[in-house]
Structure 1
Amino acid sequence: MLTGAPAATSIPKATQDRIFAAAKRLNYRPNVLARSLRRGWSMTIGVLVPEVSEGYTTLVLSGIEQGLVRDGYCYFLLSHHHHEEMIARAQTMFAERSVDGLIAVDTPLHHAPQLPAITVSCPVMHEGITNVVLNEKRAAELAIDHLAGLGHKRVAVIKGQAFSSGTESRWQAIRHAAERAHLVLEPKLVVQLEGDQVGHEPGYFATQRLLASNARFTALFAFNDIAAIGAVRALREAGLRVPQDVSVVGFDDVQSAAFQNPGLTTVRQPLRTMGILAAEAMVRRIKEQVPDPARQILVDPELIVRESTCPPPLRGSR
């Protein structure tokens, strides 16, 4: 009865009240481990992420947590900081703790995990693993078409770090979108986030390199919102106004994007929804005990237009 078993409804109300009173007096707690052993499930999931920081990972995690808690699961969280040996070690640690499955977020799994697994934005597909991914092609088109529609012809791009699983696919999507919009992406207007930091500094320094090249551009499309916020700081320090001199577009729509000055125009990834979808797929995979064929759950982005974009100045910017 204390575990919520359906058969407990047949116990008389007076008896139930006495049992609950005794349990409260004795500080009784159900043995979760014993219950999980009886079921054959631990009701825990291992979640593997690059790091826990503002932006992408935090929002995906909030969705994963929401989806798992709703089905009575809890989770262990490990950050691998892009070290391959830590990715492999984390999977061993999860298995030793008898988790029921693994959710890997923005993590390259070069070998198929032994545990039932669901991935979010992972570049490598494995048999039996569902991957929740953004429609990168559509995302790039939304941003590039917005800038081209405003009249921008010289667009700078800040690519993601080399270790990020989304860097190459997003760059290829941006190139395709630019070609479709008849924009030429000049090599000197393309820079990459460097280092392994996850704050605003990589975007700040990448924009400083763009400015130091003296290449003229009227708009900038950053790999993520965190980099875009750093870019705005660098532009202002160089005496440029956003958006009057340079329009800036981010990616993700983190919670602080709307509260920047100016508010950041960005491509919204439904990150919390992606986390929920991953959690739901994980629970379904565990309950059904049958591996899915390798497949993708494709989610669509949305362009959020705020105050960081406008038509280019008549004479252009830098």
Structure 2
Amino acid sequence: MLARRTPDLRMSRVTLKTLAKHLQLTAGTISATLNNSAAARAIPEHTKKRILEAAREHNYRPNYFARSLRLQRTYTIGVIVGQIGDPYGAVILNGIEEYLRDTEYFFLTVIHRHDKQVLQTYSQMLLTRGVEGFITVDTSIKDKPARPTVAIAGHKRMTDVTNILLDHKLAARLALTHLLSLGHREIAFLKGLPLSSDSATRWKAIRDVAKELGILIRPELTVQLTSDIPTPELGYPHAKELLARCQPFTALFAYNDISAIGAIQAFNEAGLRVPEDIAIVGFDDVPMAVFSIPSLTTIRQPLHEMGRIAAKTIIDRIEGTAEYTPEIIIEPELIVRLSTGLDVKEKSKK
């Protein structure tokens, strides 16, 4: 009598059934273990270990389409971003990807560049592809979404949307108090692009805190960004515009880091030194901030962690493992580097 042989899994595509036959276990036991379902609690640990080792050894991959049809699930999240090439969005996307990498979910990304028609079209396309939830980044949501949504830098309260918000008032206080402590009173400002979802909220916080601290915000020392270029070129022409107005100032608080770095270039070309002549504070703490010359003092948003929080929150919502919360508040941090340098009083002594 011939001995019973198990199939050689190296010779064919490994399915759930062939893996079960190879291990001489039921397909249900294999599935419960690989999916870590509630039924897996009753499976002995040594059996689960055998299953996981065999799946790795034979490079088992589940049939995604069959599983989706069976469970009526896609395990897909739609990520909607204003820009994908800018440092702000890129760091957030890294956080989302890092968290989802350890789950059974993946994400599809669309970019709208603040075009309302494109945003509507792409949102509908994601829905037709079966996304189970949305994460939006720098995207103003006007209507109740068709799926649970987590909005990074979303500011309008809406059912089924969890807004991940930076405490902009604290951010403004950290930046302006720092400049005041260095003796700066004449402070210029680069305001955000109106279409950016943080712009209005951040500017209101700056105005409110400036009033509390007795700082006069002068219209002639305020310039609004007019493009969404994801490079330091964003701030360069606007810093030149400030200088052309011939209104003296000793410090600049920029809307974000890339506009601040562009401003440094403009000031250098005009023969002004940073920080000796003009101190600069940015916002976000993107990776290039530390490599700017001089290195950039900035308000840090934990962008990578915000991406991870968004990914965890949307999965919890989809799976029903956490209660809905309308807001998650993130605290900023002042990162002091060389672009704010010596205080004004010290400079006057030299």
Q: Normalized against structure 1, the TM-score is what?
A: 0.90
Between 226-235 and 188-197, report the one with greater CA deviation.
188-197
Deviation at 1:289, TM superposition (A): 8.2
Instruction: Structure 1: state its 5+ residue gaps.
Output: none
* Residue in structure 2 matching 1:218, options 229, 250, 254: 250
The aligned residue for residue 133 of structure 2 is 101
Q: Which amino acid aligns with 2:230?
A: V
Between 307-316 and 2-11, report the one with greater CA deviation.
2-11
The aligned residue for residue 305 of structure 1 is 336
Aligned residue pairs total 312
The aligned residue for residue 188 of structure 2 is 156
- Structure 1 position 29 matched with structure 2 position 61: yes
* Structure 2 Cα separation of the partners of residues 61 and 20 of structure 1: 30
Tell whether the 8 Å contact from 2:78 to 2:126 is kept in structure 1 after alignment.
Answer: yes
Tell whether the 8 Å contact from 1:139 to 1:301 is kept in structure 2 after alignment.
Answer: yes
The aligned residue for residue 222 of structure 2 is 190
* Structure 2 Cα separation of the partners of residues 12 and 119 of structure 1: 42
* Structure 2 Cα separation of the partners of residues 63 and 257 of structure 1: 19
Tell whether the 8 Å contact from 1:157 to 1:190 is kept in structure 2 after alignment.
Answer: yes
CA distance change for structure 1 residues 228 and 17 in 2, over 3 Å: closer, same or farther?
closer
The aligned residue for residue 179 of structure 1 is 211
CA distance change for structure 1 residues 98 and 233 in 2, over 3 Å: closer, same or farther?
same
* Structure 1 Cα separation of the partners of residues 188 and 309 of structure 2: 34
- Structure 1 position 263 matched with structure 2 position 303: no
* Structure 2 Cα separation of the partners of residues 240 and 17 of structure 1: 63
* Residue in structure 1 matching 2:144, options 109, 112, 116: 112
* Residue in structure 1 matching 2:278, options 238, 241, 246: 246
CA distance change for structure 1 residues 12 and 50 in 2, over 3 Å: closer, same or farther?
closer
Q: Which amino acid aligns with 2:90?
A: T
Which of these two proteins has the greater Rg computed from alpha carbons? 2
Q: Normalized against structure 2, the TM-score is what?
A: 0.82
Tell whether the 8 Å contact from 1:129 to 1:291 is kept in structure 2 after alignment.
Answer: no
The aligned residue for residue 93 of structure 2 is 61
Deviation at 1:37, TM superposition (A): 3.0
SS of the residue corresponding to residue 76 of structure 1 reads: strand
* Residue in structure 2 matching 1:146, options 165, 178, 188: 178
Tell whether the 8 Å contact from 2:145 to 2:160 is kept in structure 1 after alignment.
Answer: no
The aligned residue for residue 154 of structure 2 is 122
The aligned residue for residue 34 of structure 2 is 4
Counting aligned pairs with the same residue, the percent is 41
Q: Which has the higher contact order (CA 8 A, sep 6+)?
A: 1
Deviation at 1:46, TM superposition (A): 0.3
Q: Which amino acid aligns with 1:296?
A: E
Deviation at 1:38, TM superposition (A): 2.7
The aligned residue for residue 84 of structure 1 is 116
